[in-house]
Amino acid sequence: MKTAKEFLKTIFFIEILRGLALTLSRLFTHAVTRRYPKVKRPAQPGFRGLHALVRDRDTGKEKCVGCCLCAAYCPSQCIYIYTSEDEDHKKIVDRYEIEVLRCIFCGFCVEACPFGAISLTEHYEYSDYSRDAFYMTKERLLSNWDKYMAGQKGEGYFRKFWRPMSEDFGTPEKQATWRKIQNAK
């Protein structure tokens, strides 16, 4: 059963009047919506957009060594890596592919990579009529790096948001390593 206060509120439409007052008070304030795509909000630091394979500054090739850690971590299982060996038994990354439409942009691949070889760029405006456009080959991923992350931007990206990296894990001074044992003989 309604109390007297609730009854009065009902018959005088108090809640409706409150709502209308709120609407009226907002009529003369600045709009908080943006006229996208004319007005764009800059991507926040660490934004997880389209993938890119990091290009090594010295060699101009991908930094990826084909260890497959990123693929093992990926919860969507949408990273495919195909490798082979050269004459010196060095691993070559023949194909590195990501099915972007299956990605959930969790960033685990970036975190898992011990070489800082894969990144998520700030680019989020991509659309197409075919699924093929979202199947990123190694070449496409490298070109994403050139387009969206080359230079200072790419360097800052890993230093700022993705630590620890392999360089943070130096070999302790007293730890025996194969090379040291060899030299000692």
Q: Per CB under 6 A, does 50 bind ligand SF4?
A: no
CB 149 within 8 A of CB 52: yes
Q: Per CB under 6 A, does 134 bind ligand SF4?
A: no
Q: Per CB under 6 A, does 115 bind ligand SF4?
A: yes
DSSP SS3 for 20: helix
Q: Which of 66, 138, 142, 144 binds ligand SF4 (CB under 6 A)?
A: 66
Beta strands in the chain (DSSP E): 51-53, 79-85, 91-99, 118-120, 135-136
Q: Could you tell me the two tokens for 169? A: 């894990």
Cα–chain center distance at 3: 55
Q: Which of 65, 80, 123, 143 binds ligand SF4 (CB under 6 A)?
A: 65
* Contacts (CB under 6 A) with ligand SF4, residues 4-43: none
Which residues of this chain interact with ligand SF4, rule CB under 6 A? 64-70, 73-76, 78-79, 81, 98, 103-109, 112-113, 115, 117-118
